[in-house]
Amino acid sequence: MIDVLEIGDCRITAVRAGSYWWDGGAMFGVVPKTLWGKHQQSDDLNRVEAAFNCFVVETGDRRVLIETGGGVRHDQRSLDRMKMTRGVNATDAVAGAGFDPASIDLVINTHLHWDHCGGNTLDLGGRVTAAFPNAHYVTQRAELNHAREQHPRDGVSYRAVNYEPLLEAGRLQLLDGDVEVSLGIRVQIAPGHNRDMMVVLVQSAHQTWCHLADLAPYAAHVTPTWVAAFDLFPLETIQSKTELFERAAADGWWCSFGHDPVVSFARIVKAGPKSAFTVQL
């Protein structure tokens, strides 16, 4: 499914690099199924579909790819667990949306969990190479440090093959905090899902699009207290979401979500006097 948003001089194309299925309880944390079940359908193993949402941003003569999905390095056990027949290479997904992978200038990994950078590299002729041959890649330095820590809580989400070969090749640039990575494209750390995950803000002609990544995996996470069980710092998730959603509602931002298999772009609007929000498609 290809979906396009135009703001000012920027064209943003949603590219889904396939999807996986994961436990609905893990996706919605303390929210009971009687509530989240109204938003996401689950299968007989209580799994909900999670798309690998990636985005191509075209601005001026630059092409920027945000996220590279889960890639293809999965054994049969993992494929069965995630109800995947096979993985999808981000290069194939991007090419399928009409973009030559060689035309991507910059790849942004909001964080280094496997489902956001699994398509960064390819195995070619016994070597691991950059999947986007002319791109440089960016992520947060503190996120890389956490990935290397291999903490028992979330070490399993980090696979060195997705980033270490890029570092060795001098292709992965490490960021220290909030920065404009390309004209009109800013990254901002939004703690909660983990310490250093970034959201991506694209601004043109006084309009804004924000990729929320795993700060809000689904549109249903528009309620700030709907927090995935994965999140390392749930109270900070609530705070980060509330702050961003207040800005999004006040300034009419378009927003996107890390894993929603249906909603590509939505506006976030106030749904009451307190910090209650809803999405407007």
Instruction: Using CB under 5 A, list all residues that contact Zn ion.
Output: 115, 214, 258
Decide whether 27 or 249 has the Cβ nearer to Zn ion.
27
Decide whether 120 or 203 has the Cβ nearer to Zn ion.
120
Question: What tokens were used for 102?
Answer: 């060689």
In the complex, least distance from residue 206 CB atom to Zn ion, rounded to whole angstroms: 30
Decide whether 49 or 214 has the Cβ nearer to Zn ion.
214
Place of tokens 């570092």: 167
In the complex, least distance from residue 222 CB atom to Zn ion, rounded to whole angstroms: 17
Do 275 and 262 touch, CB atoms closer than 8 A? no
Decide whether 63 or 259 has the Cβ nearer to Zn ion.
259
Torsion over CA of 234, 117, 1 and 62, rounded to 10 degrees? 110
CA 274 to chain centre: 27
Decide whether 113 or 171 has the Cβ nearer to Zn ion.
113
Beta bridge partners of 256: 211
In the complex, least distance from residue 163 CB atom to Zn ion, rounded to whole angstroms: 15
Other beta carbons within 10 Å of 19: 20
Residue type, position 233, single letter: F
Decide whether 24 or 258 has the Cβ nearer to Zn ion.
258
In the complex, least distance from residue 38 CB atom to Zn ion, rounded to whole angstroms: 22
In the complex, least distance from residue 126 CB atom to Zn ion, rounded to whole angstroms: 29
- Residue 11, burial from CB neighbour count under 10 angstroms (0-12, 13-18, 19+): middle
Nearest to 257 by CA among 116, 89, 62, 70: 116
In the complex, least distance from residue 230 CB atom to Zn ion, rounded to whole angstroms: 8
In the complex, least distance from residue 133 CB atom to Zn ion, rounded to whole angstroms: 25
Nearest to 105 by CA among 32, 25, 183, 168: 183
Assign 33 to helix, strand or coil. helix
Decide whether 7 or 215 has the Cβ nearer to Zn ion.
215
Nearest to 218 by CA among 31, 6, 68: 31
**Do β-strands 127-130 and 121-124 pair in parallel, antiparallel, or remain unpaired?**
antiparallel
